[in-house]
Amino acid sequence: MSPPTPPAPPRAIFIGENMRALNRKLFRDLSHSKGQSFAIATVMAAGVMTLVVFVTALDALRFTQERFYDDHEFAHLFADLTRAPKQLESRIRALPGVRGVEIRVRAPVRVEVEGFPDPVRGEILSIPPGHPPEINRLYLRRGMLPEGSETAIAVNEVFAAAHGLQIGDTLRMVIRGQRVRLRVSAIVLSPEFVYQLAPGSLIPDYERYGVFWMSERVLSRAFAMEGAFNNVVLTLDGTVPEADVKAELDRLLARYGGLGAAGRDEQVSHRFLEEELSQIEAMTTVLPAVFLGTAAFLLHVLMGRMVRTQREQIALLKAFGYSNRAIAAHYASFSGLVVSIGVIAGVVLGARVAEGLARMYLTYFRFPDLDFRLRSGVLLLSAAVAGGAALVGAFSAVRQAASLPPAEAMRPAPPPTFRKTLLERSPLWGHFAQTSRIMFRNLSRHPLKAVFSVTAIACGCALLVVGSYQFGAVDHMLDIQYRVLMPMDAHLMFTDPVHERALGELRHPTGVRYLEGYRSVPVRVHQGFRSVQTSILGMEADSALRPLVTESGRRVPLPRDGLLMTDFLAEDLGLKAGDTVALEILEGRRRRVYAPLAGVVSEPMGVNLYMERRALNRLLREGPALSGVWMLNDAEQQEQLFQELAEVPALAGMSDMRQAERNVRAHIEGTTLGVMGVVLLLSFSISFAVVYNNARIALAERERELATLRVLGFSRGEVAWVLVAEVALLTTLAIPLGWLLGTGLARLLSKSMSMDLYRVPFHITPWTYSFSAAAILGASLISLLLMSRRVWRLDMVSALKSAE
Amino acid sequence: MHPGEAVFVAQDLTKHYEMGEVTIEALRGVDLELRTGELVVLLGPSGCGKSTLLNILGGLDTASGGSLRYRGQDLTRAGERMLTRYRRNDVGFVFQFYNMIPSLTARENVAIVTEIAPDPLSPEEALSLVGLADRMDHFPSQLSGGQQQRVAIARAIAKRPSVLLCDEPTGALDSATSVSVLESLETLNRELGTTTALITHNQCIGGMADRVLHMSDGRIVNVTANPSRAAPRDLHW
Ligand SMILES: Nc1ncnc2c1ncn2[C@@H]1O[C@H](COP(=O)(O)OP(=O)(O)O)[C@@H](O)[C@H]1O
Ligand SMILES: [Mg+2]
């Protein structure tokens, strides 16, 4: 700091103890502009909060997941097969790279819960004789594992919770056509079912699908698997690449109807958990970026204005010998203080909300408990990011203050140059009242300032669009999915594929109006190094219950040969119409077949392949087989229908599609929309902060002018009009800009949140636009009301006293 | 400090402002010498370059040409740091519009200077000198114009500057208040020996000066020395 020549100044010129008066100015300035400082701190806090919330929640969930997986020996490979003798276990164990093996019996069941009329499906897994499972260990929440008992069963916690099951309650199950009565002996959690999902469904339904465990001895007897197993899970020691172990295992199990082992990345629970977590991850970047960007922008406006209005004070301080650095430090500390308040509030609030958010996810992901931790690294990161944003925001103003030449600034700011605007030259001008003319002149005199204000309000409006569009978009998505693409009332699944003759029999039960059979087969799509597991749905070429459409909503008929594919998947795999798709059939004998991709279809949920049903039968080298049936039926007679269908032995399960739709809506509302609700709330407070901030600045800058008008004899109403008209005009200009900005941001968010499970379409409803506009107008109104007291009591004397 | 020793020596000082295509010649070659302990009044019509000259003397601005020496140091060649130090240690300013910092009390407005000066008076002493000991904790908005200007003077002299530069200190004040402000300046000049330059466009104020420099159109056109200084209260308004 001290210059090289002449001796250093005797006192430091830094902000410090020697400059108490300057510090006092700092605090008084802060309290003078407290409304605006508070607004900026709020926006800053919102940005920091979202960052802390999402990063911390994500960290806590990942940490919890890791701990649960490690402590409970979550398997690395999972394989289903038709049936293999238990002796095979030792050969699997001998494969290089294998650390642990557990062979199991896995049986699909139908469950009857007392007092619950809907069909319930589930699966039972065996517990090895003599000891609890060593891979995918169970976490015992309550009770005792049903080791030797004939009738005891362990129930996954979500299912127990959904039905209020207690230890000692009984359940009736149908295992391979046999009815058995079982007693709940334990309520458990498993790393394998953190996210409990029925095979083939996208959304969990804890009431209608359950996972159970029972003694292997009992289960093998009931399921006719004595001395054999049909499922195996492995942990690896890491010495051999997973793909190699998998290849060896597949080779070994191929003879026994093995369908190919799945790694964790294809294990249902793990995969969905990862998808949800990656969705949170998308939020950790987009949302804080938006909020902190807005905060930086507001800070820029506030600091710019402050330096402008304090031009003379800055010059004075320089005239007294304060150095440029001391001045820069002064204004930097001002923004530093505002930002610190925001950061502290954001961190404190964020830390509280983060645990809440993580716990909310825990209602969907079942872990024994949340290992919540607040990492100082996360907090530091948030502070650093916020600080960076603040730096960007305040930089130009601070630099401007530092470089203001003292003499220049001693002169009153050069009188504004007037040019007649287009409006003023137009004949319209004559019709404006004096006060409106003042308003127009004020704005046109400082066009840059007006642009800033408009942009700031537009930011608030944009945040509202981003915060609210998902509500409409999700509704739109579900409408498409359930009203257009899946209009069936019920869905029946056969245990094994049946001849299409079966359709005839299913026409008889009560209330059935229309039926369509389909064939569904799990496949793995191979493309280059990548492969994705999904299924081919074979259906009528012009299916009424499962129509296929393009992105623009045009119907696409199924070709005689060849595949249609969900566009999201095709894009993901880099496939386009005309390409040949390599498919591995994961049913019966695994074969690799090829089929041409005839086109893509658009659907917001899930990813699938589609074929004409008979073409699929041919591809599978089978007769006219069906995997299931879609039907339309009378809603009033549905209960009766399900009761009659429950007696059909070939049915593995049935689902009520209206119920499924309700579940999906509830699920999405619970997760995504819950989060967006928080975002919307923040957007609200930010928009208000922005609008209030802007109106407050307008008042501060006009106070003297307005007082002068009062002195000249204008009424309070006329004087207020100058302010009201200005705020109204700026707001009106800002709203369309905010829509534009918000639309862009929403598109960004939609894109970053797309995933296999569902893709909220980029669809903004007029409701969203009108809502965001209404919120901004409301905020303007409230801001004006809050300031009306000040306008009412404009102090004519003191406003005119300090000379200009 | 020996009476008669030169504080400022300016030779052929020029200053011009570029305003787009036009160049404004604010100073067209000013020669000047100010001596220790002198009270000099700069007189001239509005726009003749008085403020420009004072700003250059005070290190707020730099000349376009010519030379200016302050106690032998060349100010025309001084960099930003040196000028900052010069303003901090050696110069006191008083302006027409007082230039209080509105968020600070009278005492704090003075403290803001004493806190960075090497050997200052205390804010209380400085305010007593201008007769405002009882108004120290008032904010500028609670003070009259004359009182604010006296705070500004206290602020300017609190650092014990070797030169005091006042740009129309009474320009915004009525005559009675002006007298009290001028008396403060006169007393300080006499008792502390602070070299003082005072700008005004009010002819009669010239009577209280040792010398009156008449400016016109960017030049000093005439210098008159008063055989004896008149007391401010005896000036004819
Ligand atoms: N920053 C500036 N830019 C352009 N012209 C200036 C500037 N400052 C002063 N001037 C011009 O220089 C001349 C002298 O100004 P000034 O020294 O303020 O006059 P005085 O103080 O005697 O009234 C005037 O014509 C004024 O318009
Ligand atoms: Mg002047």
Contact between A152 and A185 under an 8 Å Cβ cutoff? The reply is yes
pLDDT of B21: 82
Domain boundary among A239, A260, A281: A260
pLDDT of A439: 74
Residue B71 Cα to ligand 1 middle (Å): 27
Residues A437, A649: Cα–Cα separation, whole Å: 84
pLDDT of A803: 42
Residue A18 has a CB neighbour count (10 Å cut-off) of 14
Q: Which of B52, B97, B217 to mutate to test the pocket of ligand 1 (most atoms within 8 A of CB)?
A: B52
Specify which residues B125 forms β-bridges with: none
| Best CA proximity match to A465, nearest among A667, A665, A290, A674 | A290
Contact between B87 and B58 under an 8 Å Cβ cutoff? The reply is yes
Does residue B22 carry a pLDDT above 60? yes
Check whether residue A134 and residue A34 sit in a common domain.
Answer: no
The position carrying tokens 């802060």 is A30
| Best CA proximity match to A490, nearest among A629, A597, A625, A390 | A629
Residues A691, A233: Cα–Cα separation, whole Å: 59
Q: What is the ipTM of this complex?
A: 0.74
High-pLDDT (> 70) share of chain A, %: 90
Q: Which two tokens stand for residue A748?
A: 């960004």
pLDDT of A430: 65
3-state SS assignment for residue A528: coil
Closest CB from B88, B89, B115 relative to A20: B115
Numbers of helices and strands, H then E, in chain B: 6, 10
Interface contact flag, B102 A802, Cβ < 8 Å? yes
Domain boundary among A208, A243, A260: A260
Domain boundary among A260, A277, A310: A260
Does residue A514 carry a pLDDT above 80? yes
Q: Which residue of B has its CA nearest to A320?
A: B88
Interface contact flag, B93 A24, Cβ < 8 Å? no
Question: pLDDT per residue over A309-331, tens digit each?
Answer: 788 888 888 888 888 888 888 88
Question: pLDDT per residue over A728-770, tens digit each?
Answer: 888 999 999 999 999 988 888 777 777 666 777 778 888 889 9
pLDDT grade for A705, boundaries at 50, 70 and 90: confident
Residues A36, A701: Cα–Cα separation, whole Å: 13
pLDDT of B216: 94
How many separate domains does chain A show?
4
Domain presence at residue B72: no
Residues B206, A355: Cα–Cα separation, whole Å: 77
Residues A462, A452: Cα–Cα separation, whole Å: 15
pLDDT of A112: 86
pLDDT grade for A335, boundaries at 50, 70 and 90: confident
Question: pLDDT per residue over B178-191, tens digit each?
Answer: 888 899 889 889 98
pLDDT of B119: 87
In chain B, how long is the greatest CA-to-CA distance?
53
Domain presence at residue A643: no
Q: In this structure, what are the phi and psi dihedrals at residue A520, rounded to the nearest 5 degrees? A: -130, 135
Residue ranges making up the domain that contains A548:
490-634
- Interface residue ranges in chain B relative to chain A, Cβ cutoff 8 Å: 51, 55, 58, 60-61, 79-82, 84-89, 91, 93, 95, 97, 99, 101-104, 108-109, 111-113, 115-118, 140-141, 145, 155, 159, 172
| Best CA proximity match to A803, nearest among B146, B70, B66, B219 | B146
pLDDT of A65: 94
Ligand 1 pocket by Cβ (under 6 Å): A 408; B 17, 19, 24, 26, 44, 46-52
Q: What does the pLDDT average to over A146-174?
A: 90
Ligand 1: atom nearest CA of B45 is 22
Check whether residue A64 and residue A121 sit in a common domain.
Answer: no
Nearest-5° Cα angle at B223, B221 to B225: 170
Residues A382, A47: Cα–Cα separation, whole Å: 9
The position carrying tokens 């800055």 is A314
pLDDT of A270: 93
**Could you write out the three-class secondary structure of A482-493?**
HHHHCCCCEEEE
Domain presence at residue A715: yes
Q: How far is A25 from chain B (nearest CA, A)?
A: 6
Contact between A86 and A227 under an 8 Å Cβ cutoff? The reply is yes
Check whether residue A614 and residue A677 sit in a common domain.
Answer: no
- Strands (E) in A500-529, as ranges, are 512-527
Contact between B149 and B178 under an 8 Å Cβ cutoff? The reply is no
Domain presence at residue A354: yes
Does residue A14 carry a pLDDT above 60? no
Residues A767, A675: Cα–Cα separation, whole Å: 20
The position carrying tokens 């809603």 is A635
3-state SS assignment for residue B68: strand
Q: Is the four-CA dihedral A203, A207, A209, A211 of positive or negative sign?
A: positive
| Best CA proximity match to B202, nearest among B159, B237, B232 | B237
Residues in chain A, how many? Answer: 804
Q: What does the pLDDT average to over A588-599?
A: 86
Residue nearest atom 21 of ligand 1, based on CA coordinates = B51
pLDDT grade for A401, boundaries at 50, 70 and 90: confident
Q: In this structure, what are the phi and psi dihedrals at residue A526, rounded to the nearest 5 degrees? A: -105, 135
Residues A611, A560: Cα–Cα separation, whole Å: 8
Q: Which ligand is nearest to the CA of B97?
A: 2
Give the list of residues 6+ apart from residue A679 with CB closer than 8 angstroms, or none. A50, A287, A466, A467
Residues A384, A55: Cα–Cα separation, whole Å: 14
Check whether residue A588 and residue A732 sit in a common domain.
Answer: no
pLDDT of A169: 92
Residues in chain B, how many? Answer: 237
Residue ranges making up the domain that contains B137:
37-62+88-230
pLDDT of A77: 95
A773 backbone φψ class: left, alpha, beta (φ>0; ψ -120 to 50): alpha
Residues A421, A452: Cα–Cα separation, whole Å: 19
Residues A799, A702: Cα–Cα separation, whole Å: 10
Residues A78, A102: Cα–Cα separation, whole Å: 10
Check whether residue A207 and residue A306 sit in a common domain.
Answer: no
The CATH number of residue B46's host domain is: 3.40.50.300
Domain presence at residue A169: yes
Ligand 1: atom nearest CA of B17 is 4
Contact between A137 and A72 under an 8 Å Cβ cutoff? The reply is yes
Q: What does the pLDDT average to over B149-173?
A: 88
Check whether residue A119 and residue A157 sit in a common domain.
Answer: yes
Residue ranges with CB less than 5 Å from ion ligand 2: B 51
Does residue B111 carry a pLDDT above 60? yes
Q: What does the pLDDT average to over A355-367?
A: 83
Check whether residue A371 and residue A459 sit in a common domain.
Answer: no
Interface contact flag, B80 A324, Cβ < 8 Å? yes
Does residue A802 carry a pLDDT above 50? no
Question: pLDDT per residue over A453-510, tens digit each?
Answer: 788 788 888 888 888 888 888 888 888 888 888 889 988 888 788 898 888 888 888 8
pLDDT grade for B144, boundaries at 50, 70 and 90: confident
Check whether residue A782 and residue A733 sit in a common domain.
Answer: yes
How many separate domains does chain B show?
1
| Best CA proximity match to A519, nearest among A630, A627, A609, A611 | A627
Q: How far is A24 from chain B (nearest CA, A)?
A: 7
Interface contact flag, B104 A11, Cβ < 8 Å? no
pLDDT of A434: 64
pLDDT of A533: 81
Residues A31, A28: Cα–Cα separation, whole Å: 5
Domain presence at residue B67: no
Domain presence at residue B13: no
More confident residue, A590 or A320: A320
Residue B25 Cα to ligand 1 middle (Å): 9
Domain presence at residue A428: no
> Residue-wise over A675-698: b if at least 16 C-beta within 10 A, else e?
bbebbbebbbbbbbbbbbbbbbbb
Check whether residue A476 and residue A495 sit in a common domain.
Answer: no
Q: What does the pLDDT average to over A183-208?
A: 86
Check whether residue A611 and residue A713 sit in a common domain.
Answer: no
Residues A523, A158: Cα–Cα separation, whole Å: 29
Check whether residue A351 and residue A495 sit in a common domain.
Answer: no
Does residue A3 carry a pLDDT above 60? no
> Residue-wise over A234-243: b if at least 16 C-beta within 10 A, else e?
bbbeeeeebe
Check whether residue A268 and residue A246 sit in a common domain.
Answer: no
Contact between B161 and A319 under an 8 Å Cβ cutoff? The reply is no
More confident residue, A337 or A76: A76
More confident residue, A121 or B39: B39
Torsion of CA A132, A133, A136, A142, to 10 degrees: -20
| pTM of the complete model beyond 0.90 | no
Of A108-112, A292-296, A687-691, A700-704, give the lowest mean pLDDT range: A700-704
Residue of A1, A17, A314, A316 best to disrupt the B interface, most CBs of B under 10 A: A316
Contact between A58 and A378 under an 8 Å Cβ cutoff? The reply is no
High-pLDDT (> 70) share of chain B, %: 98
